[in-house]
Each structure stands twice: as structure tokens, then as C-alpha cells.
Amino acid sequence: MNSSPMRRLRLTWGGATDQGRIRANNQDAMYADPGLFVVADGMGGHQGGEVAANLAVRTIANAERSDREQLREAITEANRVVHQTALEEPELHGMGTTLTTLAVSQEVDSHQFVILNVGDSRVYRHRDGELEQLTEDHSYVAELVRRGELDDQAAEVHPYRNMLTRAIGVHAEVEIDEWLLEPVAGDRFMLCSDGLTNEVADLEIAEQLGLGQDPGTTAKALVGLANKRGGRDNSTVLIVDVQVELIDSDETNQSPETEEFQDPISSPPHEANISLGGLEDLSDRSEQTSNMKERSWLYDRVHIKLGAVIISLVLLLTSAAMVTTIGWYARSSYHVGIVANHVVIQKGVIGGLLWFEPTLEQWTDIQTTHLTEEDRQRLVDGEQMTDLDNAKTFVANLRTRLVKGVDGS
């Protein structure tokens, strides 16, 4: 130990989760210990979502996870466990869960925060009154926004805004997003499920986080706000406050709060404040639970894909049919017109249709100079005929009206 001041990381946290006012059960899960904070939002019919979220959280909580490699491996393992269980249990088939974690990670020379994310639960950082979403949602709509095909306003009301593109347990493998952050004193992190962010605007969340109340009270207030705004989904909020203290190295050995992490950073495990369960009077919610559909990652996704395929197939068939009809019409009819100053009978429609250009059916020796002004005008525009006989009759009649003396007729 040397005499230079050391940094001690002190974390204070509190969380709240609620099933909301409509859902029959709470498929969100959360977990907090001095070095790991997790929010998971399960999905899948019946008990699937609940099982997936809790299985994933439990797997990570029980894993070795002192650095980010181990954390990644823990999440990969969680994916494996959820996926395997879903395969083995028919009633759990297709279950999955989002998973967002903020963890203290032992890196080469210091402790850092590592954020790992799969799905559309989020980690925010509140700093100097500003709220910043640190994670990227793995959702269809977020993907469209990132590609510039949808703006934020349209995304908020998009019918597929709950459709995930990535989740834990859905496939045998999962890609995990990762961010590494330096602990900064005064930062307040918030992990939450979409049940909060779909009901409460960022501005209002920032306002709550900025009130300076302790994490537990703030988390409760936010979940309460989600319920007040509709509570259409389970909502979960986990808040972690960061304090960094400079201390003398002598002190580190005396502190009872340095057990969890060795120097230079430590964290007291004594300030946990996790509150579970209802926060408001939600006595009327039982009536609203039965006909609410659960969100399902797998099935939503499959439906969309099938829908798109069916729609494009129908479009394709329709246009094929249209082209055939147009082709038949374009080819089966005739018109009388002028080509190179001669009256001709053409197969096809005047001017053509799509790529069906008229073709020359019969050349005549009648020139435009033989025609009366009236006939000439008609043929410059073209005279549409229903069939070849009509066209021939028209030309025969035309001959009787030719301007005399021009030709040898």
C-alpha cells in the first residue's frame, strides 16, 4: 500500500417492480447485489415469460462474474439454460427474456462499470440533470429508427414497437452488446423494463431522477407513475447511485465496507433497498387481466414474417394476373393508325400498354395525303377496333372516302 489517495466506489441502490394494471402476472425480474444489477423482462405465453426472466437472472447471479469476460460467459450461459429449458418443456416453448445488466467489473488496473444488454430493457444514466439512454434497443422499431426510416414520434405509436429482434433464450446463440464505463461520482443509473418507458416520457423520468430522493423512493415513484399512466405492462425500475470518495490508503483496511471489492474501489453491500410488489391500490386490475394478450417474441416475429411473405405473394400473384390480362388485352385488340405516312392496321392497343408494343398487322397503300382532313385527324390519334375484321371493314370504308385524284384509284 502506498500513501497516495485511493478511490472508493460507493453504490447505493433501490428498486421496484409491479405487474401493472392489466397483466395477469409479473414477468419482469430484477436482481441486485453489490456488484451486479439486472433487469429482465420475460415473454412467452402462460408461465414462460416468468420462468425465462427468473431463470436468466438466477443463472447470472450464481455465476462467476468478477470481470466482463466472465459476465459475458454468464449471460451466454443464461441464454443456453433458457433455450434448453424451452426446448425440453412444451409449455415453455418459445419463451425468452430481455436482459440488461450493470455490473462492477475488475479490469486490468481498476474497477469499471460494464453494461451488457440483450433486448429492449434499458440502462439510462442521469448526469447533471440530463438523461441519456446508454443501451440500444434490440427491437424492430428501434432498428428502423437507427436506419433513419422512422422518427421517434412514429416509433412511439408503431404497432410493432414491442417486437424484439434479439432476446435471451430464443436461439441457441445470442449476441450481447457491451459498454465499459468509468465510475463517475454523482452519476445515477437506471435500469428499467419497457413497462416504464412505454408509459412515462423521458422528460418525466429525468424529472423524477433529479428530485434527489433516495433510489428506492425514486424507483417506487417511477413504477407508480407507469401505473398511473395506464400500467399496461409490468414495470421494473432499479436505480443505482454512484459515489466516489478519495480516501487515504491507511483507511481502506479499517473500513468495514471494503470487503466486497479490494482497492482501489469498494462498495458497501448494506444499502440495498429492493422493494417488490404493489405500490398503489390496484384492486380493480383482476377484471382487466383475462383478455390481455401476452407479448411473445417468437410468435410476433413469425407472424410478421409470414404476413410479409403472404402480402408480397399476394401482390406478386395480383400483378402477375394483371400483366397477363393487360397482355391479353394489349395483344388481342387492333387499331388503325398511321405509320410512315401510310394507313396501317396494328395489333395491340394505341400507344401500347406496359411493355406490349403494338405490332404491325397489315400495311396498306393508303397514304395520309389521300385522306380527308377529318379521316387523317382520326387516324393520327388512332382508331381502336375490337378485332381484325372490324379493322379491315374500317379500312375498306376509308377507301370509299379518299380524296380523289391523288392516287391512281
Q: Using CB under 5 A as the criterion, which residues of the chain lie in contact with Mn ion when the complex forms? A: 41, 193-195, 233
Residue at shortest CB range from Mn ion: 41
Pairing of strands 6-18, 273-276: parallel
Q: Choose between 20 and 264: whose C-beta lies nearer to Mn ion.
A: 20
CB of 223 to Mn ion, least distance (A): 13
Cis amide bond preceding 269, omega within 30? no
Secondary structure (3-state) at 356: strand
CB of 109 to Mn ion, least distance (A): 38
**Cα 57-58-59 angle, rounded to 5 deg:** 90
Single out the residue of 138, 141, 146, 198 nearest to residue 171, CA to CA: 138
CB of 351 to Mn ion, least distance (A): 57
Q: Choose between 46 and 401: whose C-beta lies nearer to Mn ion.
A: 46
CB of 295 to Mn ion, least distance (A): 6
Instruction: Round to whole Å and give the CA distance between 34 and 11.
Output: 7
CB of 143 to Mn ion, least distance (A): 18
Q: Is 138 exposed, middle or buried (0-12, 13-18, 19+ CB in 10 A)?
A: buried
Q: Choose between 228 and 401: whose C-beta lies nearer to Mn ion.
A: 228
Secondary structure (3-state) at 409: coil
Q: Choose between 20 and 183: whose C-beta lies nearer to Mn ion.
A: 20
Q: Choose between 193 and 296: whose C-beta lies nearer to Mn ion.
A: 193
Instruction: Round to whole Å and give the CA distance between 210 and 208.
Output: 5
Q: Choose between 104 and 205: whose C-beta lies nearer to Mn ion.
A: 205
CB of 93 to Mn ion, least distance (A): 20
Instruction: Round to whole Å and give the CA distance between 222 and 66.
Output: 31
